[in-house]
């Protein structure tokens, strides 16, 4: 791990170096007893205080200087002590269960996957927050803890009642967003690259694979099998698959399809 100049009290505090130090401290905030730092490249009192606390707790410095110097003891310790187990990129969703109020009422609802007119249609939106990059040895990794947020983008045709059967069908479409983002979060946690540019390229590639390709395949197969919810037998089969998938936090497949 390398920085171009000192970060902290009396340091040059370049934005890039400060972001790297902030992201390297954040996995350890629980052990340090400090607040999670905003990875904004600004070396204010919270960042300087977190550096000082890091030096006290991990380096046992009796006179911490609240500064991370290039090639120094503090930066080397950060590089060689990555995130503790359990400090990861994760996924969450709000709401968990869809209700009628989550659907926008529109005159016509069309499924863009097959061009058919439907009573309702549910997709999802997501956000991956910029928590900066941290170092693990000589490689860059995504900043943790982090959480991919998922929320619904749902429509219902005006005049249609969202009964239990229709809601259950649409819930599956929403659940796909959550379980795929959860699988993506796991891949982001373990991703490594020798440069920040390489790490960003991995992010873009993983988002394309999971969110754009795999979601499309699962959603299309689900609607074909269930005939958009009209086939009760396959509707139950897919709902049971989703129940098992959600219950397994490390699941990477559903119904033979990769998440």
User: What tens digit of pLDDT does each residue of 4-16 get?
Assistant: 999 999 999 999 9
Last residue of a domain, one of 53, 80, 107: 80
Flag whether 181 is in a domain: yes
Assign 82 a pLDDT band (cuts: 50, 70, 90): confident
For range 65-72, the mean pLDDT = 96
**214-250: per-residue pLDDT in tens?**
999 999 999 999 999 999 999 999 999 999 999 999 9
- My answer on whether 169 and 206 are in the same domain is yes
Q: Are 24 and 139 in contact (CB under 8 A)?
A: no
Flag whether 2 is in a domain: no
* C-alpha triplet 166, 221, 121: angle, nearest 5°: 35
Entry pTM:
0.89
- My answer on whether 18 and 122 are in the same domain is no
The whole domain housing 34 covers: 7-80
- My answer on whether 110 and 216 are in the same domain is yes
- My answer on whether 42 and 120 are in the same domain is no
3-state DSSP assignment of residue 182: helix
H or E segment at 239?
Answer: helix 232-247
Find all residues with CB under 8 Å of 158, minimum gap 6, and list them: 105, 106, 107
């Amino acid at each position: 791990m390398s920085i171009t100049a000192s970060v902290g009290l009396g340091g040059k505090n370049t934005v890039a170096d400060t972001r790297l130090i902030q992201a390297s401290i954040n996995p350890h905030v629980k052990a340090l007893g400090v607040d999670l730092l905003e990875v904004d490249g600004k070396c204010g009192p919270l960042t300087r205080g977190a550096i000082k606390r890091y030096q006290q707790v991990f380096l046992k410095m009796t006179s911490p200087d609240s500064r991370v110097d290039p090639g120094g003891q503090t930066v080397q310790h950060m590089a060689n002590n990555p995130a503790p187990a359990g400090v990861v990129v994760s996924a969450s969703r709000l709401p968990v269960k869809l209700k009628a109020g989550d659907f926008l009422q529109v005159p016509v609802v069309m499924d863009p996957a097959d061009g058919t007119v439907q009573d309702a249609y549910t997709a999802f939106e997501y956000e991956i927050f910029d928590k900066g990059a941290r170092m693990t040895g000589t490689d860059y990794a995504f900043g943790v803890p982090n959480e991919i947020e998922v929320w619904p983008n749902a429509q219902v045709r005006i005049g249609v009642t969202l009964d239990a059967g229709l809601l259950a069908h649409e819930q599956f479409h929403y659940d796909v967003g959550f379980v795929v983002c959860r699988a993506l979060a796991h891949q982001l946690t373990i991703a490594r690259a020798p440069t920040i540019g390489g790490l960003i390229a991995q992010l873009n590639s993983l988002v394309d694979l999971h969110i754009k390709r795999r979601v499309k395949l699962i959603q299309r197969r689900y609607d074909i099998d269930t005939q958009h919810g009209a086939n009760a037998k396959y509707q139950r089969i897919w709902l049971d698959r989703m129940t098992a998938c959600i219950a397994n936090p490390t699941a990477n497949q559903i119904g033979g399809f990769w998440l």
